[in-house]
Structure 1
């Protein structure tokens, strides 16, 4: 795995396992930072909330 990541997308839902995975990510993954006068863009984190689907009653 690269030392510093450019972009990471984390999908979360209401389950505790999902929140535990997000906590692990926040404690263990380092996003890329840009140095002054650098052309490199800093890393970014996108959190995608994926609620459980609702099934309409017939």
Structure 2
């Protein structure tokens, strides 16, 4: 059980870092004049909770 959680925590941190990079790329694209009014890409991201990530 400990090993499972250790591996999941490490993977979750990587997942969060990747999601933050994606949001930064979207922010850069939006600031370069290609701004869309799509609320899902407004730069306000909702990340999965750790429990949601583990369930996946």
TM-score per shorter chain, which class? 0.3 to 0.5
Bigger helix share: 2
Tell me the TM-score normalised to structure 2 length.
0.38
State which structure, 1 or 2, has the greater radius of gyration over its C-alpha atoms. 1
Bigger strand share: 1
